[in-house]
Structure 1
């Protein structure tokens, strides 16, 4: 409880805002190098907040479910909420990889490191772009599904 309110709805809103925002930023970084050079610190920060907020949301949701009691709607919501974390981890790894590539390898055109990049660089960037898409799109879809089932749980009573 936080000032008499259950912690779950408060923590969930951090995840609901940060995960899609991190997804958008990470995907932009993967496909638009000029954006990566400007956005990487903010995107990595927001992705980190999302990565922390998602398991806190699951944990606080389990505590709230113990308080209000289990039913079929709550169980479905819990299952869908638990599906968000793997995508959040993938998204964070993509944001971290792209941030490191931007910071230390000069991701993008007109980079001072352009001629000195190792052979594996292009392959790594393709893998990071795929991870950004999978984590970003998958995480956002999983978050929307979990949020919808949570809203149904609250408003169906």
Structure 2
């Protein structure tokens, strides 16, 4: 309890806000290198908050379940809430990978006088960018949808009599 409110109802809002925001930022960074150069610190920070908030939401939800008892709606909500965790892990890995690639692998502006081969970079770099973009899409879209489903079932649990 925090100021008389169950901790779950407070922590879950961090996940509900941060996960879709991190998803949007990570997907934006994956497909727009200029945005990645500017946004990576903020996106990585928000993704990290989401990565922390989701397991805290699960743990605080289990504690709340012990206090209020179990029923079919709570069980469904618990199951859907646990489905968010793998997506937020994938999203965080994508945000971290894109941030590292942005900082370390030269998403910097290149001279017009460099050869096309020098601007293209190694082949593995292109493959890595594709893998990170796929991870961003899977983690971001999947995580956001799983969060919406879990949030909806949580609201049903609270408001259904």
TM-score range, shorter chain: over 0.9
Q: Deviations over 1:99-142 (max 9, x none)?
A: 0000111226x247x93733310000000000000000000000
- Equivalent-residue separation in structure 2 for 1:144 and 1:83 (angstroms): 11
Which residue does 1:97 correspond to in 2?
A: 97
- Equivalent-residue separation in structure 2 for 1:107 and 1:154 (angstroms): 47
- Equivalent-residue separation in structure 2 for 1:50 and 1:106 (angstroms): 27
Q: Which of 140, 151, 158 is the matching residue for 1:147?
A: 151
Which residue does 2:31 correspond to in 1?
A: 31
1:3 is displaced (CA, Å) by: 1.2
Q: Which of 129, 135, 142 is the matching residue for 2:133?
A: 129
Which residue does 2:48 correspond to in 1?
A: 48
CA-atom RMSD, angstroms?
1.6
- Equivalent-residue separation in structure 2 for 1:106 and 1:138 (angstroms): 29
Q: Which runs of 5+ in 1 are unaligned?
A: none
Which residue does 1:87 correspond to in 2?
A: 87
1:36 is displaced (CA, Å) by: 0.3
Report how many aligned residue pairs link the two structures: 156
Q: Which runs of 5+ in 2 are unaligned?
A: 112-116
Which residue does 2:114 correspond to in 1?
A: none
TM-score relative to the length of structure 2: 0.93
TM-score relative to the length of structure 1: 0.95
Which residue does 2:118 correspond to in 1?
A: 115
